[in-house]
Every structure is written in C-alpha cells, then in structure tokens.
Structure 1
Amino acid sequence: MKLVIHGKNIEITDAIRDYVHQKIEKAVNHFQNITNEVDVHLSVARNPRIASNKQAAEVTIYANGNVIRAEESSENLYASIDLVADKIARQLRKYKERKQDKKTQPTNEVVVPEPVVADLIGDRTPELPSEVVRTKYFSMPPMTVAEALEQLQLVGHDFYMFLNSDTNEINVIYERNHGGYGVIQPRHNNAHTNGHSKNGKTAHANTTVEKASASK
C-alpha cells in the first residue's frame, strides 16, 4: 500500500510522519486488499483574526477505481489525525459492506422521473471566487447515476461530477438542501433529455433523484 503525506503551512516532521503512518495504517489494515493508495493532506488554516489556528487532516483513499475521502479538523493536529483515522475506517467498512450487498442481493432499482428545472439560480447573480486557490485532478470513468450517488456518499462532498455512461456527457449529482439528490445535465439547443438518455434508457438511482438541466 502506497501512503503519501502532503503538508500546507506546516512542516512534516519525522514525529508527525510516524504518527500518520501508525494511525492510518492501523485504520486501513483490514482493507489492504481493496486499497491501492492513501493520500494524506495536513494543513493549518492561518487566520490573523483568530488566536488559535485550525489544524486539519484529510485522507483520500483510492480503492479499486473508487475514491473514499474523510476530513477532520481541530486545534490540535494529532487530535485531527486521530479523528480522521476513525472516520476513514468507518467509510471503508461502509464501502466494503455495500460491495458485499451488491454481490448477495438482487438489484431492485426504482425509476422516479422528475420535472426538468429550467432555471437553477433564479434571480441570483452567480458569484465566483476572485482566484483559484486549489486545483484537483481525478480520473472520470463512465458510470451510472446510481454509481455516482454511491461515490458522492463515499467522498463526503455536497456534489460529485461524473461521466454519465448512458449519455456520455458530464453530469453533476448533488445533495439537495431539502432532502434527496439532484442531477445537473447539459441542455441541448434542440431538445433536452427530460430524464432520458440518448439510447432511450432512463437515468436513475436507488434514491429518488431530481433531474435539472444547466444552460450552456
């Protein structure tokens, strides 16, 4: 298993490196057969307005083409490492249980078509940050909406961008404020998919998913 440690606004000392190896390797010890690479990012958020600086530990695990992520922060780096080690272990258990359930249980998928939302932002003015502060690169293998939903739950983000295997287009699945999940799809000039892919199949997930089209 490959374990890589990165630091931002912090020096990765031998003591910190040894502690990370001890805690993270123990957390993933029972899952090494599905774990290819572990990426650990340690950082200190320096805010001159606050006397204490938040110290964060983020762990990203690449497991058989899937990404599992956990992040924790506190005023003590070692405490953050302890918290994130426990959290990533729970995420790995959930991931392994889902894989086992898929092998032993039949798939009963429910298709619930939702209306297309014409305008996602209404009267609000889109605002972007003044500068790009971080860039991430990741592979994007084709997957269904149901598989993208599973990835969203594993990485712990509010949204997940993926290549829809039914339409061969980039989609974004996100967690809605009022419950459930939504999918943002590109809108075409002549027509929209209205929940249907190019090959006539309906995009779906085990959890009710709202379809939303984003204007070009």
Structure 2
Amino acid sequence: MKLVIHGKNIEITDAIREYVHQKIEKAVNHFQNITNEVDVHLSVARNPRINTKQAAEVTIYANGSVIRAEESSENLYASIDLVADKISRQLRKYKERRQEQKTQNQPLTETLATPAVVTDLIGDRTPELPEEVVRTKYFSMPPMTIEEALEQLQMVGHDFYMFRNAETGEINVIYERNHGGYGVIQPRQPNGSTNGKNGKAANNIVMPEKTSKV
C-alpha cells in the first residue's frame, strides 16, 4: 500500500509522519486487499478567526473507487485521530456495500426516477468564486454509469462528482440537490441536440433512497 503525505502551511516532521503512518495504516489494515493508494493532506489555516485550524484529509483509491474523509480541530494530532476513525468507517461501509451487491445482485437502476429537466442548480445559495485557484487535482476517469457515479459521490462526501458517462463518452457532473435527490449535468451539442435519454439535456434527476453521511 502506497501512503503519501502532503502539507500546507505546515512542516511534515518525522514525528508527524510517524504518527500519520501509525494511525492511518491501522485504520486501513483490514482493507489492504482493496486499497491501492492513500493520500494524506495536512493543513493549518492562517485565518485567526477560524477556531478549527488544524485539518487532516485522507483520500483512498480502492479498486477504481475514491473514498474520502476530512476532519479538523484545534490540534493536528486530534484531527489525525478523528479522520483515521472516519476513513475506517467509510472503508467498512464501502466493503459491506460491495458484498451486498455481489450477494443480492440488484442494480441501482431500480431506485431511479424518470429523468426530468432542472433549471435551478444552486437553489437558495449565493454563487461565489474564489479569488485564486488553491489546489489542482488529477483523477483518472474510467467510463461509468450514472448509478456508479452516484455511488462514488456518496463515498467521497462532496456535493458533486465529475465522471465520464459510459453511454455517451462525455464528461458529466452528478450533484446533490438542496431540496433532496440528485441531478446530472450533461453537455448540450453545438447544434442544440443532446445525448441524453428521451432527448432531454442538461440535468437528469436521480432519486435514490437517501443515505445519511458519515
């Protein structure tokens, strides 16, 4: 298992590195057969108004899936403890879900509602753009179905997930809607045509049974 540690506004000392290895390796010890790489990001906020200044983020690449957890507190070592516990629960949940899928062999398509067009993408939120790009991430994008992308969205814990649609070969975005359910953003062709089902472009509503976030 490959474990990589990154730091922002913090020096990764030998003591910190040893503590990360100890906690994270223990957390993923029972899941090494599905874990390919572990990325750990440690950061310290410079804003004095932020109480939880010490953050620890763990991203695990497991057999083509991405599992992510993040925790912050006033103490870096406490943040590492918290994120180690959280990523362990995420891995357990991921493994149990895979085992259930193999046992029951029931596709997620049974929980999908009829696609519809959504015009309101941000709801009551006020759009804000960052003043500068603070981080660049690179991910492989193997083709996947909307159902598989939905599962990935739930695993990484973000509000959205970008993926390559196995049906069309295009880049799509699946996101969690403010008022419940999920939506899919698809590109419209230059001539106005779409690759979506039933000729509907842009946003297909996905309404699976909502699972609580860890």
Specify the SS of the correspondent of 2:93.
helix
CA deviation vs aligned residue, 1:18-75 (integer Å, no higher than 9, x gap): 111110010000000111111111000111445x561000001111111111000000
Look up the match of 2:22: 22
Partners of 2:174 and 2:161 in 1: how far apart? 5
Look up the match of 1:162: 163
Specify the SS of the correspondent of 2:172.
strand
Look up the match of 1:105: 104
Residues 1:102 and 1:76: Cα distance change in structure 2 (over 3 Å): same
The answer as to whether partners of 1:35 and 1:64 remain within 8 angstroms in 2 is yes
Which amino acid is 1:100 matched to? Q
Specify the SS of the correspondent of 2:136.
coil
Look up the match of 1:146: 147
Residue 191 of structure 1, CA deviation: 2.5
Specify the SS of the correspondent of 2:173.
strand
Q: Percent identity?
A: 79
What RMSD over aligned residues (CA atoms) do the two structures have, in Å? 2.6
- After TM superposition, the structure 1 stretch with the greater mean CA deviation from structure 2, 143-152 or 13-22, is 13-22
Residues 1:191 and 1:57: Cα distance change in structure 2 (over 3 Å): same
Residue 190 of structure 1, CA deviation: 2.9
- TM-score w.r.t. the length of structure 1 is 0.84
Structure 2 runs not aligned, ≥5 long: none
What does 1:193-208 align with in structure 2 at a 5 Å threshold?
Answer: 193=195, 195-196=197-198, 207=208
User: Would you say how many aligned residue pairs link Structure 1 and Structure 2?
Assistant: 203
The answer as to whether partners of 1:115 and 1:194 remain within 8 angstroms in 2 is no
CA deviation vs aligned residue, 1:109-168 (integer Å, no higher than 9, x gap): 32422321356469x996532221111111110000000000001111010000000111
Structure 1 runs not aligned, ≥5 long: 198-202, 210-216
Match status 1:192 vs 2:190: no
Look up the match of 1:32: 32
Match status 1:180 vs 2:177: no
Look up the match of 1:129: 130
Partners of 1:138 and 1:57 in 2: how far apart? 20
Look up the match of 2:46: 46
The answer as to whether partners of 1:112 and 1:208 remain within 8 angstroms in 2 is no
Look up the match of 2:83: 84
Partners of 1:98 and 1:132 in 2: how far apart? 35
Which amino acid is 1:2 matched to? K
Residues 1:184 and 1:112: Cα distance change in structure 2 (over 3 Å): same
